[in-house]
Amino acid sequence: MIKLSIGWNFKNSYIQLPPKMYTLLNPTPVEAPKAVIINECLAQELGLSNNELQSSGGIEILAGNEVPEGAEPLAQAYAGHQFGHFNRLGDGRAILLGEHMTPNGERFDIQLKGSGRTPYSRGGDGRAALGPMLREYLISEAMFGLRIPTTRSLAVVETGETIIRDRLLPGAILTRVAQSHLRVGTFQFIAQFGTYDEAKVLADYAINRHYPEVLLDDQPYLAFFKEVIKKQASLIAKWQLVGFVHGVMNTDNMTISGETIDYGPCAFMDTYHLATVFSSIDYQGRYEYGNQPYMASWNLARLAESILPLLNEDEEQALKLAKEALSTFATLYQHNWREGMKGKLGLVGDEDGDEELVKELLDLMQEGKADYTNTFRSLTLDLFDEMKLFQTNSFKDWYHKWQERLKIQQESNDVIKERMRKHNPAIIPRNYLVEEALQAAEMNKDLSKINELLNVFKNPYAYTKDQEKYAKLPPVTDEPYQTFCGT
């Protein structure tokens, strides 16, 4: 156990849960750890010393070679439906060091991803490659800049070891920071392999950690379920509004806190199409862009099944309560998405025809194979020469309807445009730019492109001159863009 003045302040609560929910385990040491990138802004937010974090002792901790004072490392057990099939799972290549308390009293999980084999590795090597870890770092920080709830990345370190995937790759470990790593799959695990009392302990723990206000409710477990529904309805709407495709919405990748987690085969949509899929293993399009709200509801149904005995002693009544609560997801999601879409078009208030106006534009975009982000960016900036869609008669008819709708608000153009800028990112992590940056880092040890993207994505709504080059469309190619899970 190493003592440094880094600022770690571990107060661990997960370890108090039933022992079957985790395995106490230290990370597997690595040969020659070396810092690749450290998130100095996040370190400061956590109350950590950047100088000490980047020292040799700090790097030893981030690599899993040393355990910081107060940490109680463990691998979490959970289950999950992966592409619809139930599996017993767990942290197969991650170790939770513990829960760090910030100077302002916030609690965050500190997890090392790629830190070696665990009892849940299922034949895997427990390691991670540099490229996928840098990808998670980059995308999660971009999501944070887009104001979307997300886990964050504190650091990536190289291990000095080589791992085998489809080829030999440099190994790396990511330090992930999360409100917690409680998942729908955590509740599925205890429902399948635990007891009623253990399920109650887990639910009480989740409530106290994330939704303590529901303790005042007459039916706290039902109120807890409703809060998770609200968080997920808001989160998925935010994904849809920026064209984010998660790629692997298994129940073990849906958090109770409402944070986005696991940035494996994710990507941002260029050409607008509801059937957009990037994951190399999503052969049936289960998690395509247009399906994400439905899959979120499906996942929440699995959470309902897992806590059913807590909702009511009578199974029939419990099922009725769960169904009634779950039925609110679609309404909540639609409200969040509709309000977000109206913001993207500068609209306020509710007028007859608002939904049709949005739908008509999206239909035109899909039919015209228009770029999702740049369509709204161009509307925000009144750039009508940049896209073929804008030259069509169908779009001109739609544009006239839009302008007539805006007149009802009796607002200045400046006010409307400011609202649109707040809802429409000028830039997103374009897949080709992400791949260029990752390739430079992985092959040439050149982090300049990654640092460049990280800097520009701190405020994707800025609409600065410097951001214009990042809004350029990807090169034309016959090959569809594919992403991979990294394992």
Following DSSP, what letter does each residue of 174-205 receive, concatenated?
EEEEES---BHHHHHHHHHHS-HHHHHHHHHH
Last residue of a domain, one of 271, 305, 338: 338
* CA nearest to 93, candidates 194, 14, 172: 172
Residue 125, domain extent: 14-178
Question: Is 117:129 a contact under the CB 8 Å cutoff?
Answer: no
DSSP 86-107: EEEEE-SSEEEEEEEEPTTS-E
DSSP 49-67: -HHHHTSHHHHHHHTTSS-
The answer to whether position 370 is within a domain reads no
Regarding whether 245 and 125 lie in a shared domain, the answer is no
Position 485 scores a pLDDT of 61
Regarding whether 153 and 94 lie in a shared domain, the answer is yes
Position 1 scores a pLDDT of 57
Position 474 scores a pLDDT of 86
Last residue of a domain, one of 338, 369, 392: 338
Exposure string for 368-380, b = 16+ CB within 10 A, e = fewer? bebbbbbbbbbbb
Alpha carbon 314 to chain centroid, angstroms: 36
The answer to whether position 359 is within a domain reads no
* Domains in the chain, number: 2
* CA nearest to 461, candidates 425, 487, 431, 407: 425
Regarding whether 167 and 188 lie in a shared domain, the answer is no
Position 443 scores a pLDDT of 87
Regarding whether 146 and 38 lie in a shared domain, the answer is yes
Position 322 scores a pLDDT of 98
- Which amino acid belongs to residue 431? N
Regarding whether 191 and 170 lie in a shared domain, the answer is no
Regarding whether 130 and 230 lie in a shared domain, the answer is no
* CA nearest to 73, candidates 30, 22, 35, 119: 22
Position 479 scores a pLDDT of 60
Position 402 scores a pLDDT of 97
Position 282 scores a pLDDT of 85
Question: Is 103:76 a contact under the CB 8 Å cutoff?
Answer: no
The answer to whether position 456 is within a domain reads no
**How many other CB atoms are found less than 10 A from the CB of residue 45?**
17
pLDDT digits (tens, 9 = 90+) for 179-216: 999 999 999 999 999 999 999 999 999 999 999 999 99
Question: Is 241:340 a contact under the CB 8 Å cutoff?
Answer: yes
Catalytic residues: 252
Regarding whether 102 and 248 lie in a shared domain, the answer is no
Which residues are CB-contacts of 14 (< 8 A; sequence separation ≥ 6)? 21, 22, 74, 76, 96, 99, 109, 180, 205
Regarding whether 204 and 144 lie in a shared domain, the answer is no
The answer to whether position 263 is within a domain reads yes
Question: Is 361:341 a contact under the CB 8 Å cutoff?
Answer: no
Alpha carbon 231 to chain centroid, angstroms: 13
Alpha carbon 67 to chain centroid, angstroms: 27
**How many other CB atoms are found less than 10 A from the CB of residue 381?**
17
List of the chain residues with pLDDT < 50: none
Question: Is 278:265 a contact under the CB 8 Å cutoff?
Answer: yes
pTM: 0.95
Task: For residue 440, give the 3-state DSSP assignment.
Answer: helix
Beta bridge partners of 129: 171
Regarding whether 156 and 237 lie in a shared domain, the answer is no
Task: For residue 15, give the 3-state DSSP assignment.
Answer: helix
Position 59 scores a pLDDT of 97
The answer to whether position 452 is within a domain reads no
Question: Is 251:81 a contact under the CB 8 Å cutoff?
Answer: yes
What are the backbone angles phi and psi of residue 17, rounded to the nearest 5°?
A: -75, 170
* CA nearest to 78, candidates 67, 63, 92, 88: 88
Query: CA-based angle 280:285:288, to the nearest 5?
Result: 95
* CA nearest to 131, candidates 164, 171, 103: 171
pLDDT digits (tens, 9 = 90+) for 451-471: 999 999 999 999 999 999 999
The answer to whether position 83 is within a domain reads yes
Regarding whether 211 and 155 lie in a shared domain, the answer is no
Rg (CA), the chain: 23
Gap between the Cα atoms of 274 and 202, Å rounded: 37
